[in-house]
Chains A and B, each alone.
Chain A
């Protein structure tokens, strides 16, 4: 991670049309943004495309970046908007559940799961948890992804989502309750923390 001063310098150079300055600026953010989008879409190809779209939007919209929020937060907001628009479009075209079901077999992590005999309890737990996470309502999943996986604070996530910190906190609490309900049958079988 670069310091804020260096970041602002790169932002100003990119605003003047220096593509390489922008590439340096986003280099550290590309992989985390990709991971966020992948968490929300469940598809590598879509995640790559949407990551590129996010960066392109950021470049063309850099003139509107006021530097009041962190560049990372601003980039996350663009990524979330791009992904939600994409998912909305997909759900209108095909039905979201159908779409997610369709892409699941392509997921290399889940492809590791072959037969029930080969699955250890740990793996079974992971698989179920992954599934439970994927099936959370979109706004809960988004909040928990931003905080748990992207490492944003409640206030940063609130800025990304355009809501209050209290709402973020409440959504994450609800998401955890749902995950707990879903994982209850497995909780006694896995190793205690």
Chain B
């Protein structure tokens, strides 16, 4: 071991962290080494003066404590608010699902009704019905003997439909009469085409 190693042991001994075996080795060296002996004396002098250096005490410990207490109470109150908030946040998916269900029920009840059939069909629509019927009859007309009979039945069903549609919703008898005349004209136009 070199003197620098023993000097480290001297430092450890000052801190009370040198084990007994190390102390014995050091003592033996100090008896023979003047330089290390002097080093130890100087360190001891410094150590004593070091420990005597004035220590700074808090000027107002009570004020320091009061300030700390105030801050801790504030921290505690804030932490409680945060806890409540986080509980609400944890329930957020439940709230969202509930809200969604309420909105879906509302939508189904008030907005998702089956569309009301528009019964005020105009002549053009009727003519498209008639075209479809005529196409059908033309197909059937492969058998010439049935042609006249089918035409008559088809036309009759159209006439009935027209009459039913145009007579619904009339309260005034004059309007009804006028519409009957119109219906007759439409019948005439339809038969003329055939």
A-side residues, CB < 8 A to B, are: 17, 19, 22-23, 27, 30-31, 34-35, 38-39, 44, 47-48, 51-52, 55-56, 59-60, 109, 125-126, 129-130, 133, 147-149, 153-154, 165, 169-170, 172-173, 176-177, 179-180, 183-184, 187, 190, 192-193
| Contact indicator B46/A183 (Cβ below 8 Å) | yes
Asked whether A22 and B54 contact (CB < 8 A) given A173-B7, A176-B11, the answer is no
What residues on A are CB-neighbors of B68 within 8 Å?
23, 52, 55-56
Using a Cβ cutoff of 8 Å, how many contacts connect chains A and B? 115
- A–B complex contacts, Cβ < 8 Å, 5 sampled: A35-B56, A48-B64, A109-B56, A129-B46, A173-B11
| Max chain A Cβ within 10 angstroms of own Cβ: one of B45, B48, B67 | B45
**A contacts with B: majority SS:** helix
Asked whether A190 and B56 contact (CB < 8 A) given A19-B73, A23-B68, A56-B68, the answer is no
Closest 4 A/B residue pairs (Cβ): A173-B11, A38-B56, A154-B17, A19-B72
Surface stretch bound by A, among B36-44, B111-119, B175-183: B36-44
B55 interface residue, CB < 8 Å from A?
yes
The bracket for how many chain B residues form the interface is: 35 or more
> In the complex, what's the smallest C-beta–C-beta distance from A171 to chain B, in angstroms?
10
